[in-house]
Structure 1
């Protein structure tokens, strides 16, 4: 079983087709292709140095191991990840660059090795590759191809070709668990030259570094090219390996700089906030599947569902927030492509399922969430209001009609509340306050779209009847969900009975749906209840709801930013800044935002990077820049 199955990355790299997760120590722990969510093709991929000692066995030192001191950063305004490994004992410094070429599906790993002291020795560069192509350890094959001096790992229609511009001094294919394990031969410094392995397969190679003397420097670059056929993988590999690393790096830098220049610039923020804003935009691009338009929540890190239901999927809800933020930040086409993806995956009954694979098929689910259909309708309207793209609205009209009719059919004719479904956090089945707000917002958006297009009815429902229904649901929201005694909105109803849990998702009545006006006293009551009952006493930050036990019940960055935004909109700018800066403080060493912060240590605790956390940061920054987010209609 994969030893990295629940290991959080330090950073991620990619090109919106290939996505790779890299540990804080520079270890490549996951590699997704041909989509950014599935399959995951890496089991163990290591790089290191083999040192030859006189009259002793060779010493194999992997760069990700604790014998090195590690530091890590992104090159400015790019998704090129640089990890530095330094050994005071050996006097060796290794600068490792990892990036995916923006045009070709090839992972590029460049290693610059320096000897900074007077110790001298013979050495070799070592590489070990245990692949599980197509997320399948069995049935894999690896071949060593002499004509290209590369390894070919493949299963079914997924092929990876791995090698360097330099020829290796030795190689080995074999089973990671067998007598022919490439690791065994690597550690001896004597790869036996076996050219193939079937089943659970791995490969390894050594490249001669020669005599490592004082002030010696050597550079080696590895390429991992992907293709649907051997010919395609080989074509990319041969095209890239003949290129100079400086030229490849320059192309990647230029690509990401052009991406940022195409978007919005900030004018009022200091250097740190501007830097985090750019990093958020760069990260969201990596979490967007270029071929389909889908956004994933986070690179998958819990594939066996040991502590969660998984994260490497496209949720309509999260994706609407993401598309909205990107559209406001000037990346309108990326946002628009998501809605076209949404139109393609919409069910025949007009609703959207809980989550999807990036390729467009339904992902593992455990029940409908009506808020997702509501926010899809709301998001389509917001995208139009942001961009003014009338043709987009025309293209989405059939989608809007089907979804609005489906939501209308989910309203209880007696209570005027939505029928029970899973809530925003997916662990409460009932009629939640947030879902009710999302349904109101979605139906109002559909109504306004109909008016915009001069459509008198959807499919069977007249526009004026839809308007009356929205008013009835709004009244039911207050009648059933407002706790008059304690003056706050409850979590919702279970089997018709009130669940009085204080839940942070009630902030949705203020933002983004504006069911409650900012000046309304109830807005202050919502904010007060969330802050009073959900603040983490040890590290600060805001938790999801009372009694939350998921991953220890930690505070969440996205929720803390949600509260910050609501404080800003209701005029409490000092409180808004307090929670905003708490979130900024709790980014990781690469300026990435996790889902949660450990309530004891204050460190990133789960799902990193999380798209929704970066999205709420972008929205908070745009508000501070004076953007009028939701009053355009």
Structure 2
């Protein structure tokens, strides 16, 4: 999701002491010189339910609160705890605090333990229970016999708006509230706070800001304000335990009703219900026989996909949005069909069979009139901001991936179910197939944008996706006595395969070229050409000549795109990749793992020694993937090529889905070996 052009150099970057917060200074030349600070926050953990998604930093600071959807609205700019002692503020996300963060027992409950150099300790238990749009934060405070005030501070942007918000403190109800139109939030605690302020963030009178009040230990007890509002509350530092409720609602009456319901339930009951809910959900999945070192990452990846999916709508967000201004990328808080296909298939194969049919229903309603799908969508199916609005800038592989998925799923159904499925979905599948036929009149597809949203041309990966889609639709049509369609689509698929191999296979490099651009071969090695084998099966492993091409291709990719970090292996996207410094990607590394596992599976039935070698080849790549997560085991988009730390998007649904797929493949191989 990178930009299609190079933006003018006008920025200077600094890495903040908080670790995962990147601050960027931008200077604007106007009649009056201004400086704007944009903050890109990359989370260390996520929790949530179907109504509320929360992302947090490694010290318990809140980065994002998404309500009522995963894509809209991100309701908060900043949410922090702080301790003011001896006239000095110690924000809990500062460098002075050591932290440990983890999910106990795959529970979906988050624990953060912090220790200050002064001896003050704070333990935070965060939970979003199954049935309520509320974040509950239980704090245990050890003041080390120091005096002062413990503060909670929020800078909300209700409805993603800084302006035109309203905030107030209802003293009788003991609740701070903020709202804009139908976006409401309330903050209430047990015990009640004894100090508060409804302030103005970045106001002309700086002392009216609640943040200024916290930093100076002087909350103004202002009860209401409008505009760019911020709020804070304080407790004596001698307070040993605090339970804070951050409640979201669509109107004031609902907010007050939820407050009464939620505060009448003991905190321990919420913990128990949340723990049992996640335990029950994970138990529904298929049992895996993978090495123990992979299992916890597998279960965390399942939880991530569950949290990023909208069970009502059927769609999934690629990642919680973190670059809201689209300053360094085009944003990630949307649904791409390509990513979603991987997500839904991985969940389906893991035993969660309700997700794929829901997404297929969503696809039926979001298909465009010409049979294609748009570059990306809001989760409700509305078109999202895009640079794929024109024929040449669309991404044809997304339509192909969608049709491929729908046809494969139709074939998996029993005869009666398949007929019902086709009665409802055949028009969608056929219309999409005709779009692919229209875009491949010359065999290779018309120029479009590649899957990386970087180049315009005719791409090996996209051709493989179209081949797979038309091949599977032909099989589905033939099974339903639609012989004319079957013959037409199968013939086109074969032609696409022939032309792709003839025009894009490079014998001297023993690999496919990335693309044909401006009528010339673009010979850059791109990991996406693995798609000719996995998942699209354009190259058939049972065919001797094609199997040789598969092995040559993987060897070339390993040689040309390998990136060693801390003794572990990762795979870059393509040669001379400049995006985010040209890191190895989790997605591309997992593509190679999945391809190697498929070859291992094939050879273990033919030549055990060769099969074992291919199986062992995956280990350093698996090691790279699991050692480059956050300490809470969230898989990123990229891996920092210098440190091996997670980089850029965290967590990425696509990475999580491919990891689930890889562990499932490995589990199957290991199980078959035990049987043999």
TM-score, normalised via structure 2 length? 0.86
Alignment partners' CA distance in 1, 2:38 and 2:278: 29
Is the 2:587–2:655 Cα contact (8 Å) retained in structure 1?
Answer: yes
- Judge which range, 584-593 or 504-513, deviates more: 584-593
Q: Which residue of 1 aligns with 2:74?
A: 40
Compared CA separation, residues 386 and 76, structure 1 to 2 (3 A): farther
Q: Which residue of 2 aligns with 1:509?
A: 532
Per-residue deviation at 1:16? 3.0
Per-residue deviation at 1:383? 3.2
Per-residue deviation at 1:371? 0.5
1:485 is aligned, of 508, 526, 532, to 508
2:64 is aligned, of 23, 26, 30, to 30
Partner of 1:625, secondary structure, is helix
2:165 is aligned, of 136, 140, 145, to 140
Compared CA separation, residues 143 and 23, structure 1 to 2 (3 A): same
Is the 1:327–1:383 Cα contact (8 Å) retained in structure 2?
Answer: no
Alignment partners' CA distance in 2, 1:191 and 1:606: 37
Alignment partners' CA distance in 2, 1:463 and 1:558: 33
Is the 2:410–2:476 Cα contact (8 Å) retained in structure 1?
Answer: no
Alignment partners' CA distance in 2, 1:347 and 1:229: 35
Q: Which residue of 1 aligns with 2:251?
A: 229
Per-residue deviation at 1:408? 1.1
Is the 1:35–1:359 Cα contact (8 Å) retained in structure 2?
Answer: no
Q: Which residue of 2 aligns with 1:171?
A: 196
Per-residue deviation at 1:89? 2.2
Q: Which residue of 2 aligns with 1:182?
A: 210
Alignment partners' CA distance in 2, 1:195 and 1:88: 35
Deviation sequence 1:117-136 (CA, Å, 0-9, x none):
xx524444311111111111
Q: Which residue of 1 aligns with 2:424?
A: 395
Partner of 1:563, secondary structure, is helix
Alignment partners' CA distance in 2, 1:230 and 1:338: 34
Alignment partners' CA distance in 2, 1:223 and 1:289: 24
Is the 2:140–2:242 Cα contact (8 Å) retained in structure 1?
Answer: yes
Q: Does 1:382 align with 2:408?
A: yes
Q: Which residue of 2 aligns with 1:242?
A: 264
Aligned residue runs from structure 1 range 149-228, under 5 A: 149-178=174-203, 179-208=207-236, 210=238, 218-228=240-250
2:49 is aligned, of 15, 20, 24, to 15
Per-residue deviation at 1:613? 1.1
Aligned residue runs from structure 1 range 364-513, under 5 A: 364-367=385-388, 368-385=394-411, 390=418, 391-412=420-441, 415-456=442-483, 462-513=485-536
2:124 is aligned, of 92, 96, 114, to 96
Compared CA separation, residues 4 and 277, structure 1 to 2 (3 A): farther
Q: Which residue of 2 aligns with 1:258?
A: 280
Partner of 1:6, secondary structure, is strand
2:370 is aligned, of 349, 353, 362, to 349
Compared CA separation, residues 142 and 2, structure 1 to 2 (3 A): farther
- Judge which range, 567-576 or 307-316, deviates more: 567-576
Aligned residue runs from structure 1 range 99-110, under 5 A: 99-110=127-138
Deviation sequence 1:479-522 (CA, Å, 0-9, x none):
21112333321111112211011110000011011111225111
Deviation sequence 1:36-63 (CA, Å, 0-9, x none):
1122111111123344x5xxx4x43322
Per-residue deviation at 1:538? 4.8
Partner of 1:37, secondary structure, is coil
Q: Which runs of 5+ in 2 are unaligned?
A: 1-34, 389-393, 601-613, 671-676
Partner of 1:24, secondary structure, is coil
Q: Which residue of 1 aligns with 2:338?
A: 317
Per-residue deviation at 1:3? 6.1
Per-residue deviation at 1:189? 3.6
Compared CA separation, residues 293 and 526, structure 1 to 2 (3 A): same
Per-residue deviation at 1:437? 0.4
Alignment partners' CA distance in 2, 1:330 and 1:78: 19
- Judge which range, 577-586 or 167-176, deviates more: 577-586
Q: Which residue of 1 aligns with 2:309?
A: 288
Per-residue deviation at 1:163? 1.2
Deviation sequence 1:91-131 (CA, Å, 0-9, x none):
x321101221211111111111135xxx5244443111111
Compared CA separation, residues 440 and 163, structure 1 to 2 (3 A): same
Compared CA separation, residues 386 and 467, structure 1 to 2 (3 A): closer
- Judge which range, 311-320 or 514-523, deviates more: 514-523
Partner of 2:661, secondary structure, is helix
Per-residue deviation at 1:555? 0.4
2:111 is aligned, of 58, 72, 82, to 82
Per-residue deviation at 1:245? 0.9
Alignment partners' CA distance in 1, 2:250 and 2:472: 42
Per-residue deviation at 1:396? 2.5
Q: Which residue of 2 aligns with 1:215?
A: none
Q: Which residue of 1 aligns with 2:673?
A: none
Q: Which residue of 2 aligns with 1:616?
A: 658
Q: Which residue of 1 aligns with 2:563?
A: 536
Partner of 1:541, secondary structure, is strand
Alignment partners' CA distance in 2, 1:509 and 1:30: 38
- Judge which range, 539-548 or 324-333, deviates more: 539-548
Per-residue deviation at 1:581? 2.4
Per-residue deviation at 1:394? 4.2
Is the 2:53–2:70 Cα contact (8 Å) retained in structure 1?
Answer: yes
Deviation sequence 1:143-165 (CA, Å, 0-9, x none):
11223211121112111111113
Deviation sequence 1:395-416 (CA, Å, 0-9, x none):
322221211111111112xx31
Aligned residue runs from structure 1 range 577-596, under 5 A: 577-596=619-638
Deviation sequence 1:209-244 (CA, Å, 0-9, x none):
54x7xxxxx211111111111112222222112221
Alignment partners' CA distance in 2, 1:291 and 1:12: 20
Alignment partners' CA distance in 1, 2:622 and 2:145: 51
Alignment partners' CA distance in 1, 2:421 and 2:260: 41
Count of residues paired in the alignment: 606
